[in-house]
Amino acid sequence: MDLNSPQFSSLPPLLVTDRLQRVLEIAQDSYGVNALVVLSMDNIRWLTGFTGSTALLLIKDNDSILIVDGRYTQQAIDQIHMSGASARVVEARTQSLQIGQLSRELEGSNICGFDSSDVTVLNFEMIVAQIPCAFVAVNGVVQQLRRVKTDAEIARMQLASRATDMALAEVQLMLEDASSFEISERDVRDELEYKMRRFGADGPSYETIVATGVNSVKPHHRPTGTIIREGDSVVIDVGGLVDGYHSDMTRTFLIGEVSSELAAIHDLVLYAQREGVLAVRPGVSGASIDEVCRSIIKQAGYGPDFVHGTGHGVGLQIHEMPWVRTDFIEPLQCGEVVTVEPGVYRVGVGGVRIEDLILVTATSSRTLTLSQKESLCLPSRPTI
């Protein structure tokens, strides 16, 4: 990605100036540690600005160290300087040398925190065997801080959403031709991903879902050569990626004449989704938003056909905290970005899912994905 190109020239810089000290202070207060090892590359990126594929980050009071191999030394130096992170870069070319460096840097530290979800048992045993320091699991500390997005992060997600909206608007013309030409799920996926890049995205945010006919009842269907036919629904779940930040959106199109039940399911999901979006605001739990959508669908008799949670947080990962599901009772905060995506998947009839990306504001929310969703029953174009 060329950040000097016109579409990126107005993006604010991603600054991480105080994040290392903030996360260490939280870990110290909550777990009594005096150092913190970070192994997740998403967390390392958020804390330092480094975008390589492998590294170890050690956070100590006023002395944080990013350990990289020789492929990334200069890149790490440059990116840390640009992001404002207060860390020094140390090169260690092999895993053994990296752990040895970590051991030396931890001399004098009694208790070191780490996130147990980011390390394999084998690697943990290797670290413990070589480092004379007590290790304590401090799971989710960085992820909690990542929940609230800065203006710079939101700007990237907005650009990713806009690229997706524009790509889908053009691809909709393909769907209007679906009854006249042999257009497959893969054709739609390929065109969407090409168009997203043209409109400013680095690429797809995740594996694009295009599901039609019998495939539409599979929430995470992978596109195949299945041809889109009149009378089918077409579920399109698509997102763009800009400078590491994701967008996420789903629309369901109805092709030509569809069954009355499939049309009714679309209306039901649309109503539930709208009500869920209206429920998003600071102080409301993800569980409460899930209940808004789920109760509407359940009352209509389709409860068993709503087989997943209502949404999730989005940022450096396509699925991250906070969660919009029955077991997540923490309140939403201003600056968080979540999806609202109820769906109904009735075997023998068809599937429908509608999803928007929502920014929680100081008093309410703002929708980042703006593609039309209200009337997506596409008439068949007459053949010439």
pLDDT digits (tens, 9 = 90+) for 120-134: 888 888 888 888 899
Q: Average per-residue pLDDT in the chain?
A: 94
- Would you state the pLDDT for residue 384? 43
CATH for 157: 3.90.230.10
Asked whether residue 331 is assigned to any structural domain, the reply reads yes
> pLDDT band at 260, cuts 50/70/90?
very high
Instruction: Say yes or no: 163 and 141 in one domain.
Output: no
Instruction: Say yes or no: 250 and 316 in one domain.
Output: yes
- Would you state the pLDDT for residue 374? 79
- Would you state the pLDDT for residue 126? 85
- Would you state the pLDDT for residue 79? 98
| CA 337 distance to own-chain centroid | 9
Instruction: Say yes or no: 113 and 158 in one domain.
Output: no
> pLDDT band at 1, cuts 50/70/90?
very low
Q: Name the strand (E) or helix (H) holding 322.
A: strand 320-324
Asked whether residue 383 is assigned to any structural domain, the reply reads no
State which amino acid sits at residue 7.
Answer: Q
> pLDDT band at 317, cuts 50/70/90?
very high
Instruction: Please classify residue 359 by burial: count the beta carbons closer than 10 Å to its beta carbon, then call 0-12 exposed, 13-18 middle and 19+ buried.
Output: buried
Instruction: Say yes or no: 130 and 173 in one domain.
Output: no
pTM of the model: 0.94
CA–CA dist 297, 283 (Å, integer)? 24
Boundary of a domain, candidates 97, 119, 146: 146
Asked whether residue 384 is assigned to any structural domain, the reply reads no
> pLDDT band at 379, cuts 50/70/90?
low
Domain range holding 227?
A: 151-378
Instruction: Say yes or no: 262 and 276 in one domain.
Output: yes
Instruction: Say yes or no: 35 and 175 in one domain.
Output: no
Task: Provide the number of structural domains found in the chain.
Answer: 2
Boundary of a domain, candidates 131, 146, 161: 146
Instruction: Say yes or no: 99 and 163 in one domain.
Output: no
Task: Give the pLDDT mean for 77-83.
Answer: 97
- Apex 67 CA angle, 65 and 70, nearest 5: 140
Instruction: Say yes or no: 136 and 218 in one domain.
Output: no
Instruction: Say yes or no: 334 and 192 in one domain.
Output: yes
- Would you state the pLDDT for residue 4? 45
CATH for 40: 3.40.350.10
Instruction: Say yes or no: 212 and 134 in one domain.
Output: no
The pLDDT tens digits of the residues spanning 134-188 come to 999 999 999 999 999 999 999 999 999 999 999 999 999 888 887 678 999 999 9
Task: Give the pLDDT mean for 296-303.
Answer: 98
CA–CA dist 236, 188 (Å, integer)? 9
Asked whether residue 322 is assigned to any structural domain, the reply reads yes
- CA torsion sign for 31, 35, 39, 43 is positive
> pLDDT band at 382, cuts 50/70/90?
very low
Asked whether residue 62 is assigned to any structural domain, the reply reads yes
- Would you state the pLDDT for residue 383? 44
C-beta of residue 243 within 8 angstroms of C-beta of residue 1? yes
Instruction: Say yes or no: 262 and 165 in one domain.
Output: yes
C-beta of residue 234 within 8 angstroms of C-beta of residue 255? yes
- Would you state the pLDDT for residue 62? 84
Boundary of a domain, candidates 112, 146, 180: 146
Asked whether residue 236 is assigned to any structural domain, the reply reads yes
Asked whether residue 114 is assigned to any structural domain, the reply reads yes
Instruction: Say yes or no: 221 and 364 in one domain.
Output: yes
Asked whether residue 1 is assigned to any structural domain, the reply reads no
Q: Which residue carries 């604010």 as its tokens?
A: 12
Please determine, for residue 210, whether its predicted confidence score (pLDDT) is greater than 80: yes
